[in-house]
């Protein structure tokens, strides 16, 4: 669980650059360009030093939610479910509950 993780905080420059790239991904997602959105999110992911999961910004439930959406929309349901489960596992059940019912109904219990 996220509470058990010993997470590190990114330096300000890297964090700002990653957020900027993610903002581009959100824009692409909102305009239905899911494949390009995933590319942007992956680009932001590669800015994080390995292992990426040690960084606080990388385990945010919203990131997993957006990835799940980007995979869900073109039909990659198995991978989408994996990311929706990570949302719940990182305390993001409320986030799923506030979004479109199709994500809430699809996400594993």
Give residue-wise pLDDT tens across range 59-73.
Answer: 788 888 888 888 999
- 77 and 106 Cβ atoms separated by less than 8 Å: yes
Res 67: pLDDT: 86
- 67 and 40 Cβ atoms separated by less than 8 Å: no
Looking at the structure, give the CATH architecture of the domain made up of residues 2-106: Alpha Horseshoe (1.25)
- 107 and 84 Cβ atoms separated by less than 8 Å: yes
46 token code pair: 């590669």
pTM, two decimal places: 0.68
Res 61: pLDDT: 83
For the chain, domain boundaries: 2-106
- Quickly tell me which residue has 């949302």 as its tokens: 87
Give residue-wise pLDDT tens across range 24-68.
Answer: 999 999 999 999 999 998 999 899 888 888 878 777 888 888 888
DSSP H or E run through 54? none
Res 23: pLDDT: 93
């Amino acid at each position: 669980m996220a509470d058990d993780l010993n997470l590190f905080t990114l330096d300000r420059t890297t964090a700002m650059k990653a957020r900027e790239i993610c903002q581009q991904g959100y824009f692409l997602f909102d305009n239905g360009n899911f494949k390009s959105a995933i590319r942007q999110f992956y680009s932001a992911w590669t800015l994080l030093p390995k292992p990426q999961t040690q960084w606080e910004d990388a385990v945010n439930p919203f990131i997993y939610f957006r990835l799940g959406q980007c995979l869900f929309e073109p039909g990659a349901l198995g991978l989408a479910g994996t990311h929706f489960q990570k949302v719940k596992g990182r305390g993001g059940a409320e986030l799923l509950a506030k979004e479109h019912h199709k994500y809430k109904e699809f996400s594993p219990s």
